[in-house]
Copies of this chain bind each other. A is one copy, B any other.
Amino acid sequence: MNPDLLRERQNATFDIEKLTNILDGGAERTNRRREIQSLVLNDPDFDYGNPNFLSRSERYDQAVKKSAHMILKLREYGISDPVEINWYKSMYWGTGREALGLHYVMFLPTLYTQCDSEQFNKWVPLAQSCTVLGTYAQTEMGHGTHLRGLETTATFDPATQEFVMHSPTVTSIKWWPGGLGKTSNHAIVLAQLYTQGKCHGLNAFIVPLRSMGTHMPLPGIVIGDIGPKFGFDAVDNGYLKLEHVRIPRENMLMKYAQVKPDGSYVKPLSSKLTYGTMVFIRSLIVGNAGIVLSQCCTIAIRYSAVRHQSEIRAGEAEPQILDYQTQQHKLFPLLATAYAFLFAGQYMIDTYNRISGDINQGDLSEMPELHALSAGLKAFTTWTANTGIEVCRMSCGGHGYSRSSALPDIYVEFTPSCTYEGENTVMMLQTARFLMKSYRQVQAGQQLSGAVSYLNKVHHRVMAPQAVSSQLDLNLNTLVDLYEIRAAMLVELAAQSIQQESARGKCQEDSWNNSTIDLVRASDAHCHYMVLKMFRDKVDQIEDPGVHSVMSTLAHLYAIHGMGNFTGDFLQAGVLTGAQVPSVSKCLKGLLAEVRPSAVLLVDAFDHHDKMLNSVLGRHDGNVYEAMFEWARSSPLNRTEVHESFHKHLKPLQAQL
């Protein structure tokens, strides 16, 4: 092992394994996770080499091969618990993407929840056996966020008992669904249902795309890959133009809405029953933002412990770059953020599971709050992680640009989560809508409970005076209170902006639009407060003194760093004075120095296996340079000593000049 990393690890002040257990949710789960993941590590078929050396077509081919291979393996091992499948996948795919992802994440679940029993019996076995390979085609070239704007039509023809599926315009072409371009032979297509001369809005239809034997596109199906993207090379995101394609009436998913043989339409009882899945997926994204940040911190912090550069004190040896304050300032707040988001992800899933239970009992009361929180936190965590990945990458100097570092791939695979499953600005505004509603309730004299209960205090104007004190107190609990005050102030300012716009004679919608900058800020502050609170609450539960101590420091750093970034809000709220700002900065520096000795241990605790990270910079043994040289030598451009371009272009040029 690299001597620097060895030294870092010899000075542990806490038990890493205990922290890993907390992340996993218990020692037993850590063990079981490692057991599952070792199945991948010990599988001789696992090693597929570096995907960065492949062309896009080869990457796609490899991903399909791996998907097929994985399905057989999971069956062979008898792994069927969703959590365990997830562990297996995390090691199997590393930072890469699954080719058949949408078949399992969208197609099958939609069949489960929206088929009537006859449909269920027909389609589910076909999909489970991969005879039918499906995807979920919702987004169109011209329509994403606004579902009501989708243009694809499904017109019922009672004469033949068929729906005619059609893309009437260029903008109506289905665009982006994963696996649509090449892999799937069926899709669930969202389309505007027309029957008996009337439009009944969006409904879901199973549309066969390719012939079962030959996989050739069926008549009227214009289908293909949408071309190269920023990342997702292994996935065939596709387009689908439907040219008067006829499907049987029974291919409309009929569990809720129905079209009878005579063409009459039966409305669904409630349109909010798919609500839960959305909340669940967004909650997963929150945790995933934490995982991805934890991977990047692992890479950047290990490398910063190995890399020596320049000098702090003249004449002394080049220090580890982790000893530079600027490097600590880049990485340690992100390390704290990674933990914060992992805990936030745990909280969201736990809450979802708890509330799902209530919903099954008919109690929907907590759902709006969870929905609002999941939307905002999805945006808050993915934006932060998105920026954070790039900070980690650039903290590795030139080598962060090499694909051997894995950081470029992590970025391009992660960044779409800022847009998919709800565009982030739209998400923030959904949360804002809940905050404004809550604020109005307080103004109307209602007492709020739950996450927004802090708004009760706004109305009574008791917060600011309470918080201001002559002595600046920056302990963690006080900081949580200050974030609460900040959020309350920004919620109030956003509400005031709407009121002022209305007072100027603007209609309700324009008043809203003219206040969206403030509304996004309010949501952001609300989410920031919630994440900090979850972090503090989690730390409070940790019993082991060593782990508790280091995690308290991290939570504290998370809070203080945010305060430094948003000093203006705290000053504006009157809970901080200009003269006190340098104390915040001093506190921050003290915390960075406090984290320094534990930094490598804190990333070790994430327990990311080398095979999963696939990064020469993030190796557990720190043998960075040898690995990088080996990686470069094996790259495709080095297969020949002289590239063909020399003979084709350079030699003739030299002769011509």
Contacts A/B (CB < 8 Å), 8 sampled: A61-B643, A68-B650, A68-B652, A182-B646, A215-B647, A225-B632, A227-B637, A394-B419
Measured CA separation A231–B423 after assembly (Å): 26
A388 lies within 8 A of chain B by Cβ: no
Shortest CB-to-CB span from A499 to chain B, Å, is 12
Q: Which of A250-266 contact B (CB under 8 A)?
A: none
B517 touches A589 (CB 8 A): yes
0/1 per residue, A631-657, Cβ < 8 Å to B? Answer: 111011110011111111111111011
Chain B hits for A53, CB < 8 A: 227-228
Shortest CB-to-CB span from A59 to chain B, Å, is 11
Q: Which positions in A face B, CB cutoff 8 Å?
A: 52-53, 55-57, 60-61, 64-65, 67-68, 71-72, 75, 129-131, 133, 139, 141-146, 149, 170-171, 173, 175-176, 181-183, 210, 214-217, 224-232, 236, 239, 307-314, 318, 323-326, 329, 386-387, 390, 393-394, 397-398, 400-404, 407-408, 411-412, 415-416, 418-420, 423-426, 429, 493, 496-497, 507, 509-510, 513-518, 520, 566-574, 578, 581-582, 585, 588-589, 625-626, 628-629, 631-633, 635-638, 641-654, 656-657
Contact of A644 with B61 at beta-carbon distance under 8 Å, contacts A318-B149, A398-B420, A581-B568 already known: yes
B625 touches A170 (CB 8 A): yes
Measured CA separation A143–B652 after assembly (Å): 37
B176 touches A145 (CB 8 A): no
- Among residues of B, the one whose C-beta sits closest to the C-beta of A313 is B509
Contact of A401 with B423 at beta-carbon distance under 8 Å, contacts A145-B309, A513-B312, A643-B57 already known: no
A517 touches B650 (CB 8 A): no
Shortest CB-to-CB span from A516 to chain B, Å, is 5
B228 touches A403 (CB 8 A): yes
Shortest CB-to-CB span from A116 to chain B, Å, is 25
- Among residues of B, the one whose C-beta sits closest to the C-beta of A425 is B326
B629 touches A173 (CB 8 A): yes
A182 touches B52 (CB 8 A): no
B408 touches A229 (CB 8 A): yes
Measured CA separation A657–B57 after assembly (Å): 26
A637 touches B142 (CB 8 A): no
Most B Cβ at <10 Å: residue of A308, A510, A632: A632
Measured CA separation A75–B653 after assembly (Å): 12
B57 touches A637 (CB 8 A): yes
Measured CA separation A215–B146 after assembly (Å): 58
Measured CA separation A517–B313 after assembly (Å): 18
Contact of A325 with B401 at beta-carbon distance under 8 Å, contacts A227-B635, A493-B582, A628-B141 already known: no
B643 touches A227 (CB 8 A): no
Shortest CB-to-CB span from A510 to chain B, Å, is 7
B568 touches A60 (CB 8 A): no
Measured CA separation A195–B476 after assembly (Å): 61
Shortest CB-to-CB span from A185 to chain B, Å, is 9
